[in-house]
Structures are given as C-alpha cells and as structure tokens.
Amino acid sequence: MIAALKRSVLIWPAMLLIVALYLVPSFDVIRSSLFDPDLTTRHIDRLIDRPVFMTVFWRTVQTSLIVAFAGALIAWPVAYFINAQPRRSQFLLIFLIFIPLWMSVLIRSYAWLVVLGRDGVVNSAMLGMGLTTEPVQMLFTPAAVQLAMLQILLPIQIVTTYGAMTEIDLDLMRAARILGARQGQALRRVFIPLSFDGAMTGMIIAFMLSMGFFITPALLGGPRDRMLGNLIEVQVAQLNWGFASALGLLLLFGTLGCVIVLRFCGRMALRVLK
Amino acid sequence: MQRLLRTTAVGVTASMLMSAAVSADTLVLSTSGGVVAEATMKYFVPAFEKETGWKVQQVSAEGTRMAEIEAMVRAGNPVWDVSEISASNYPIGVQRGLLEEVNYELVDPEGLLPEIARAKYGVVTASYSTVLMQNTAKSPEGKLMTTWADFWDTETFPGPRSLREGPEYNLEFALLADGVAIDDLYTVLATPEGIDRAFDKLGEIRESIPVWWTSGAQSVQLLTDGEVIYATNYNGRASAMVKAGIPISIMWNGGALHTTYLGIVKGTKNLEAAHAYLRVRATNTESQREYLNFLPYPGSAPGLLESLPQEVAEQLPTYPANLAGQYVANEEFWAANIEALRERWDEWLLE
C-alpha cells in the first residue's frame, strides 16, 4: 500500500498539470454553458432547438470518421513496411515520417491551396496534358478538406501503429509457419490481431484530433464543409461565451461518445478477425 | 462565465508576457496587423514616442478582438491600453462597458476635430469601405461590373466570386442588386419580408460563390491566386494587390462606408498616455497625410484633405466621386440584430 503510494508520486506532476491546465478550464466551460450568470438552460435549448448545430456536429463526426478510417488503411501497410526493415533504416524512416510534424497545421493546409487551386499544380498539369479544358474545382470541396486532414494526421497514425508493431514478437509468425500456416494465414491470424490495437489507438487519436479541426476546413472547405470548431469561433467572436461553451460541451461529449462506440466496434472487429 | 473569462485572460496575459516583458512606460496598442500595423509603426508611433517619451508595443488582433478585451476587462487586468475598434464592434464595446469614456479635454483641447469624430467612447480615426474588387485581367473581355446587379449577372460575368462569410453588408448588397434604393435599405431590412428578400436574392448567386472569406487577407489571397475573379474587401487592400502586379479595379458604387474608432480599454493603468496616443493619432495632420500615401484610410485631422495630390485623393473612400454611390453602413442595426441574423445565416449556408 505504502509502496504503491510512493510509486504513484511519479505520476503526480503529470496529474497536476492535467488538472490545472485541462480539467479546471473544462469545468469552467461546462459551468459557463449552464450559468449566464444564473442557472439557465437557454444555451442548451438553443443547441437542441436549432437544427443547424446538430447538422454541423454530424458532419464533423462524418468527416473525422472518414479521415481516421482512411488514415488507418494507409498507415497500417506503411508501418508494416517500416517494421520489416533492418533496425537502422527503421530509425531513418520514422525520422522522415516525423518531419512534416515540425510544420504548423496552418502552413500545411495553406500548401494545399497551391496544389489544388484553379491555377494550381494539379489543374495546370491536367490542362497541359489536355485532360480537361476548364480548371476543375477541387478547392472548397469536402474532398479537399478530407485530403488535407488525412495528410496532416497520417504521421501520427503511422507512428502509433508502428510503435505497437515493434512490440510484436516476430517468432510468433515463424511458429505459425512451422505449425503449417501459409504466409497469408499467419499474417491474418497472428500479426493483424496483434497489431490491431495499435492501429485502433492511432485511429482514435486521429479521430479525436479531427473533431477539433478548425483551420483546415476554414481554408480549404466550402460553406457546407464547416466544422464545429468554426462555429465555436464565430460565437466567441460575438462574445457569446455561454453558447460557445455549450457548443464546446457538445464537441467534448460527442467526441467521448463516438470514441466509446469506436472502441466497442474495434473489439467486435477483433473478435471476428480472431 | 467570470471564471472562464479569467482563465482566458490568464492565457492572454501569459502569452503576452512570453512575447515581451512590458516595462513601465510602454503603451500596448492593438491594431488590425498587416499593413495597418506597419503604417502605424511608421507614421504615428514615432510622433507619439517623441512627444511623450513613452514606448509603444503593438499587438495584432482580428476577429476575436472584442472577446480578448472582454476577458481582460472582466479579469480586472487589461493588458492592452488602446485598441482599434471597428464600427461594428463599437456598439458592442459600449453596451458591455469595455471602453473608457474619452476625455476630449486631453484628446482635442483646441476643438479641432469635427463633432462627428468625437464619439463618447472612442475617437473616430478613419473611414473605410467594403467594396467589390475585380481582377481586370480575368474578367471576360475586360468588362467591368458597375452595379451589384452585375455581380448577380452570371451570363455577362461568368466565373467564381467571393463575399465575406457573414450576413453583415451582404444583405444590403443583395437588396441593392434587387433594386432597393440606398435610402430605403434599412427600412426594408427592418421587416421580416425584407430579410427574406435579401436571403432569397443571395440564394440566386450562391452557386457562383465557391468560398466565403473570413479575413481581408484571405480575400486578397483568393483574388491573387485566381481562385475567384470578383471579391469584396476593405478598400485599402487593393493597393497592396496592385503593387504585387495584380490588376485590381474597385467598384465604389454600392460600397458600404464605415468608420473605425480608437478606444481606451476600460481599467487601463495608463489612462493619461492612452489619451495622449489618441490625441496624436486623431489630430496629427502631418502623420495622417503620410499615412494616406500608404493606406487610403482618411482621418479627420484638420486640413488633411486640402492640398492632397490627386492620385492619393481619388483612392479615398470619401473622395466625392467614390462617395456618391456608397451607403453608410448602419452599425447599430447590425449590433442589435446580429445574433438572430447570424443564426439564420449559418442555417442558410448549410442548406
């Protein structure tokens, strides 16, 4: 008991940081959505009464799901490839994956304007090759937002998935082969289930980060691609702190709820795989 | 709410402290950043520093400016002393008690400013307009729009366009395109039918608007990158584009004329220096004239408009030929109605 308490000292500084910088402000957000200045449900009522906010919430969920799922499908093979390399190349490859993370999200979103614009790289190439006679509208579409978000979040997903793969004892694969499993079978029955949790964690992290995206849909999206973060910004700019907090609450609990559902679906999928 | 504001203010304070330690005799000034910050630093700050011996630290704030000021004021520790206040934010600042009452004994002891510039909670420092800008190189056969009806005419003027993301002034533009006279704009908008009419009219053009801009800089970028051919913006942004080699023509007709204020953040510890800055900014004719060479946002300093070179004068929103077709934006209307209209706007955009 005492020993456990002594060991837990190590985690206190981190806990303190989370309580002071995250939990306390979060409770303030909850409070200010309910008290303005007296107890009121008018912000929550407005959230429920007007369909626009729930519509944007569901679109945010949808975009985040697409980004996280597509990311998982791309990240897994990349992580598998890296994990199969000799130790030293693995280090180099992971280092290369990390480089885009040093650039701000704003800059990376902005770069997509140059690629997807009417006078951009892709359109110029297509016009040059005669694939089209008029520039194709690629910016300000849902696909533009999803593509950019995918590119921004992919390194995180690859690294998380790869991290989990390095934990897998490759002798297990060998053992499966010795016991008569074909290469594909060993992969499907042994490696994929063992790496599944890491991929799932990467997907959930990407999903949670997507839910709060703000700059990318503002720069690359059309009027129908705005996400909850954009609506919150509008409310804060109008000094509607109470309603902005209510939207924040929707984002927080909506994300939590989705993560629980995702975890559950993940467990079901894993059972099917095994 | 109080606590949330305080937390925000602590964050703002911390970031300010990190960027630069503010010494005792430093006035913190919040402006719109970009070219405005550059011009302010060049033309007004030196005059103020020379007269008072104070230093100025400038911070940039755009969309969330009033939110930041409210957080500071509620926390009882304003980090900014003086802030630019846009015309649409001025009524909000007054309603919420975020601004000090201006003492004109200190700002304009000789009574040089016109009455219209001497607002109770801020001195008027400039006029500017929201106008339509057109890229003449991309406009078909070099044709130019001259009315808002042209903006709606996608036969004669095909191609992508952009307007600001928000109902402000766009509803007026729609009504002007629909044939409402300038003098009747706000009588029409005061009725539910008028609002419906404006939204319906906007509905006619929305398919030609792939993107709605959220900052002046974004509108510049859309025109510069060729994403759109026609976009509204604040008139001062045109010169920057012309300098960058983008042929931009301003449609003054049907523009929205605004005024911008300089206010003192409630509870500042540097009240006297803040007034001194307001005085320099609002009444120093020489600085204002030099500023006009850089940015076409005229103030009310005495004698400013006399003996201006013609090429500078004709860029101003208050130049008679430019002024003729503009309407004066009714910021009280917007302050009173923004919450409901914004909600309708958000729903309309998603339709």
* Each residue's pLDDT tens digit, B191-212: 999 999 999 999 999 999 999 9
Tokens 């009806």: give the residue: B149
Q: Does residue A55 form part of some domain? A: yes
For residue A25, list chain B residues with Cβ-Cβ distance below 8 A: 4, 7
User: Which tokens in the block code for residue B338?
Assistant: 């923004």
Give the single-character DSSP code of A102.
Answer: G
CB B127 within 8 A of CB B259: yes
Distance CA A53, CA A30 (A): 18
Q: What is the ipTM of this complex?
A: 0.84
Buried b (16+ CB within 10 A) or exposed e, B45-67: bebbeeebebebbbbebbebbbb
In terms of residue numbers, what domain contains B37?
2-127+259-320
Nearest to A231 among B64, B339, B346 (CB): B346
How confident is the model at residue B23, as a pLDDT?
Answer: 61
* Each residue's pLDDT tens digit, A4-24: 888 888 899 999 999 999 999
* Whether B244 and B328 share a structural domain: yes
DSSP run (H or E) holding B83: strand B82-85
User: Which tokens in the block code for residue A112?
Assistant: 């997509």
CA A265 to chain CA centroid, Å, is: 17
Contact A237 B96 (CB under 8 A): no
In terms of residue numbers, what domain contains A56?
51-273
Distance CA A250, CA A54 (A): 9
- Number of Cα atoms under 13 Å in the Cβ half of residue A270: 16
- A15 Cβ contact partners less than 8 Å away, ≥ 6 residues apart: none
Distance CA A12, CA A7 (A): 10
* Whether B6 and B110 share a structural domain: yes
pLDDT higher than threshold 70 for residue B217: yes
Q: Does residue A255 form part of some domain? A: yes
- Nearest-by-CA chain B residue for A117: B227
* Whether B221 and B308 share a structural domain: no
Q: How far is B146 from chain A (nearest CA, A)?
A: 26
First-to-final CA distance of chain B: 33
Task: Report cis status (omega within 30 of 0) of the bond before A37.
Answer: yes
* Each residue's pLDDT tens digit, B96-112: 999 999 999 999 999 99
* Whether B142 and B237 share a structural domain: yes
* Each residue's pLDDT tens digit, B223-250: 999 999 999 999 999 988 988 899 999 9
Residue B20 pLDDT grade (very low, low, confident, very high; cuts 50, 70, 90): very low
Distance CA A187, CA A181 (A): 9
Q: How far is B54 from chain A (nearest CA, A)?
A: 31
Residue B18 pLDDT grade (very low, low, confident, very high; cuts 50, 70, 90): very low
CA B82 to chain CA centroid, Å, is: 16
pLDDT higher than threshold 90 for residue A3: no
DSSP run (H or E) holding B344: helix B331-350
Q: What is the domain count for chain B?
A: 2
Give the single-character DSSP code of B98.
Answer: -
Q: Does residue A144 form part of some domain? A: yes
Which residues from A are below 8 Å from B when comparing CB atoms? 24-25, 28-29, 31-32, 35-37, 50-52, 55-56, 113-114, 117-119, 137, 139-140, 218-219, 222-224, 226, 231, 233-234, 236-242, 245
Nearest to A239 among B96, B221, B349 (CB): B96
- Among positive and negative, which fits the CA dihedral A35, A40, A46, A48? positive
A-B C-beta contacts closer than 8 Å: 87
CB B163 within 8 A of CB B213: yes
- Nearest-by-CA chain A residue for B345: A52
CATH number at residue B65: 3.40.190.10
Average pLDDT in chain B: 90
Describe chain A by its helix, strand, coil percentages, rounded to 5.
Answer: 80, 0, 20
Distance CA B87, CA B94 (A): 11
Give Dmax over CA atoms of chain B in angstroms: 62
Distances (CA, A) of B52 to A20, A194, B25, B47: 42, 71, 10, 9
Q: Return the number of other C-beta atoms located less than 10 Å from residue B7's C-beta.
A: 18
* Whether B241 and B157 share a structural domain: yes
* Whether B162 and B263 share a structural domain: no
* Whether B316 and B329 share a structural domain: no
Q: Does residue A16 form part of some domain? A: no
User: Which tokens in the block code for residue A140?
Assistant: 């300000």
- In terms of DSSP bridges, do strands B122-135 and B230-234 run parallel, antiparallel, or are they unpaired? antiparallel
CB B222 within 8 A of CB B228: yes
Contact A223 B63 (CB under 8 A): no
* Whether B208 and B329 share a structural domain: yes
Contact A51 B5 (CB under 8 A): no
CATH number at residue A172: 1.10.3720.10
Q: How many residues does chain A have?
A: 274
- Nearest-by-CA chain A residue for B228: A118
Q: What is the domain count for chain A?
A: 1
Query: What are the beta bridge partners of residue B250?
Result: B133
Q: Does residue A91 form part of some domain? A: yes
Mean pLDDT of A31-55: 88
Contact A52 B343 (CB under 8 A): yes
- Nearest-by-CA chain B residue for A232: B64
Tokens 């804060």: give the residue: A236
Which residues from B are below 8 Å from A when comparing CB atoms? 1-5, 7, 63-64, 66-67, 70, 92, 96, 160, 165, 206, 209-212, 214, 218, 221, 225-227, 338-339, 342-343, 346-347, 349-350
Give the single-character DSSP code of B161.
Answer: E
Q: Does residue A45 form part of some domain? A: no
Residue from B99, B227, B342 whose CB has the most chain A CBs within 10 Å, to mutate? B227
User: Which tokens in the block code for residue B196?
Assistant: 């419906």
Q: How far is A266 from chain B (nearest CA, A)?
A: 32
- B52 Cβ contact partners less than 8 Å away, ≥ 6 residues apart: B273, B276
Give the single-character DSSP code of A191.
Answer: I
How confident is the model at residue B288, as a pLDDT?
Answer: 95
* Whether B310 and B327 share a structural domain: no
* Each residue's pLDDT tens digit, B23-34: 669 999 999 877
Distance CA B126, CA B301 (A): 10
- Nearest-by-CA chain A residue for B5: A241
Distance CA B302, CA B174 (A): 37
Q: Which of A70-74, A232-236, B154-158, B259-263 is the least confident region?
A: A232-236
Give the single-character DSSP code of B165.
Answer: S
Nearest to B4 among A55, A113, A241 (CB): A241
